[in-house]
Amino acid sequence: MNQPRVLAEAEYSAAITILRAGGLLGLPTETVYGLAAIATDEKAVRRIYEVKGRPLDHPVIVHIGSIEELDFWGHEISSDTRLLAEKFWPGPLTIIVKRKVIAGDWLTGGQETVALRMPSHPVALKILQELGTGLAAPSANRFGSVSPTTAEHVIADLQDYLDADLDAVIDGGPCEVGVESTIVNCTTKHPTVLRPGAITQEEIDVVLNVKKVELETSHIKAPGLLESHYSPNAKVLLAKDESDLLELMKQIPAKQFVGLIAQEKIGTPNGCIRLAMPQSNNDYAHVVYEALREGDRQILQTIIAVMPEGDDIAIAIRDRLTKAAH
Ligand code: TXA
Ligand code: MG
């Protein structure tokens, strides 16, 4: 199959033409690349599910270009919800609210709620604002695998499934954050975090003036919340620290090379191929998916990740690595 077109950042009007014609667009955001279609175009959104191989009852995020659009898609918006949107948008926060009829079943998987997010990546924002309508966009990977953080990742994952005559990817460079947005359920009296991300529970607490907004990963259907997700082909093993890493290495057959993702301060034991050496937790988030992909490109059977410590974005990284390891 032909490779879909890759547009440069400046070619956003070509990208808009593709979306208006019902095509799909690989779209850079500050978190990960999304696979976008005009949210009200049911046929195009259904193709996103086909291309991703994603079950139809898993809802997608509607990306919007202004805070005002919160009221276009959602209703019964609480004052807490507005505070969160005003404080964190544009940025890596997804808000779940009750849906209006315009948010059809093809976006919500038939649920009475809709997920909304205003991304801060300049290419995504420009396209959304010129379009003046929402874009449905899950991460641009096949269902269950690692999210893409570059345009090349999107092509590598989806070129066999995209239509070269209809679809395209716009290259906005590597994503700044590197892990998916924080998801907050605002449909309950007290908002809860459904998926940790760059915006931490603590930051949300400050805005909502609460002690501890809960992390709740139970009742709402969200594939990122399935136990196994974000998985490379290699088997992922988790280590708490350097001595844990050395223990794990003892269990690896002598001839087998193992990929290692660990912060700079952790040494590289014999038999390890360093896939990433992040210098901070933010840097860890920025490189972790590329490192998992690099392990697969090198056809490694095993990747060991030494988990980052802390209660900043490290929580999101530990969450994703735990799911990758499941
Ligand atoms: O950072 C991100 O959020 C990226 C970029 C592209 O914006 N998008 C992303 O989309 O991660 P996706 O589809 O891979 O993950 C979105 C998550 C899914 O777990 C989905 O089930 C959940 O959001 N979700 C969407 N609508 C929901 C709803 N109404 N209720 C509960 N969960 C919902
Ligand atoms: Mg995803």
Q: For ligand 1, is residue 186 a contact (CB within 6 Å)?
A: no
CA-CA-CA-CA torsion sign (16, 21, 27, 29): positive
Distance in Å, CA 26 to ligand 2 centroid: 13
Looking at ligand 1, which residue's alpha carbon is closest to its atom 6? 34
Q: For ligand 1, is residue 287 a contact (CB within 6 Å)?
A: no
Cβ neighbour number for residue 2 with a 10 Å cutoff? 9
pLDDT band at 221 (very low <50, low <70, confident <90, very high): low
Q: Give the ligand whose atoms come closest to the C-alpha of residue 144.
A: 2
Average pLDDT over residues 218-229: 58
CA-CA-CA-CA torsion sign (134, 140, 145, 150): negative
Q: For ligand 1, is residue 180 a contact (CB within 6 Å)?
A: yes
Q: pTM to 2 decimals?
A: 0.95
Q: What is the pLDDT of residues 87-102, one digit of tens each?
A: 999 999 999 999 999 9
Mutate to test the pocket of ligand 1, among 31, 32, 61 (most ligand atoms within 8 A of CB): 61
Residues 163/142, Cβ–Cβ less than 8 Å: no
pLDDT value of residue 213: 77
Cβ neighbour number for residue 204 with a 10 Å cutoff? 23
Average pLDDT over residues 105-121: 97
Q: Give the ligand whose atoms come closest to the C-alpha of residue 188.
A: 1
Q: Give the ligand whose atoms come closest to the C-alpha of residue 36.
A: 1
Q: Does the pLDDT of residue 214 top 90, yes or no? A: no
Q: Give the ligand whose atoms come closest to the C-alpha of residue 177.
A: 1
Ordered domains of the chain (ranges, CATH)? 5-208 (3.90.870.10), 235-325 (3.40.50.11030)
Distance in Å, CA 201 to ligand 1 centroid: 18
Q: Which atom of ligand 1 is nearest to the CA of 33?
A: 6
Tell me whether residue 132 is exposed, middle or buried, using C-beta atoms within 10 angstroms of its C-beta: 0 to 12, 13 to 18, 19 or more.
exposed
Mutate to test the pocket of ligand 1, among 58, 60, 184 (most ligand atoms within 8 A of CB): 60
Q: How far apart are the first and last CA of the chain?
A: 33
Q: Does the pLDDT of residue 20 top 70, yes or no? A: yes
Q: What is the pLDDT of residues 173-204, one digit of tens each?
A: 999 999 999 999 999 988 999 999 999 999 99
Q: What is the pLDDT of residues 239-295, one digit of tens each?
A: 999 999 999 999 999 889 999 999 999 999 999 999 999 999 999 999 999 999 999
Task: Kindly report the three-state secondary structure assignment for every residue of the chain.
Answer: CCCCEEECCCCHHHHHHHHHCCCCEEECCCCCCEEEEECCCHHHHHHHHHHHCCCCCCCCEEECCCHHHHHHHEECCCHHHHHHHHHHCCCCEEEEEEECCCCCHHHHCCCCEEEEECCCCHHHHHHHHHHCCCEECCECCCCCECCCCCHHHHHHHHCCCCCCCCCEEECCCCCCCCCCCEEEECCCCCCEEEECCCCCHHHHHHHHCCCCCEECCCCCCCHHHCCCCCECCCEEEEECCHHHHHHHHHCCCCCCCEEEECCCCCCCCCCEEEEECCCCHHHHHHHHHHHHHHHHHCCCCEEEEECCCCCCCHHHHHHHHHHHHC
pLDDT value of residue 110: 94
Looking at ligand 1, which residue's alpha carbon is closest to its atom 23? 222
Q: For ligand 1, is residue 137 a contact (CB within 6 Å)?
A: yes
Q: Which atom of ligand 1 is nearest to the CA of 99?
A: 29
pLDDT band at 225 (very low <50, low <70, confident <90, very high): low
Q: Does the pLDDT of residue 217 top 70, yes or no? A: no
Q: What is the pLDDT of residues 43-87, one digit of tens each?
A: 999 999 999 999 998 999 999 999 999 999 999 999 999 999 999
Q: What is the pLDDT of residues 290-321, one digit of tens each?
A: 999 999 999 999 999 999 999 999 999 999 99
**d(Cα 34, Cα 28) in Å, to the nearest integer?**
6
Looking at ligand 1, which residue's alpha carbon is closest to its atom 17? 222
Residues 308/220, Cβ–Cβ less than 8 Å: no
pLDDT value of residue 166: 97
Q: For ligand 1, is residue 183 a contact (CB within 6 Å)?
A: yes
Encoded tokens for 168: 């395209």
pLDDT band at 223 (very low <50, low <70, confident <90, very high): low
Q: Which atom of ligand 1 is nearest to the CA of 113?
A: 29
**d(Cα 25, Cα 33) in Å, to the nearest integer?**
10
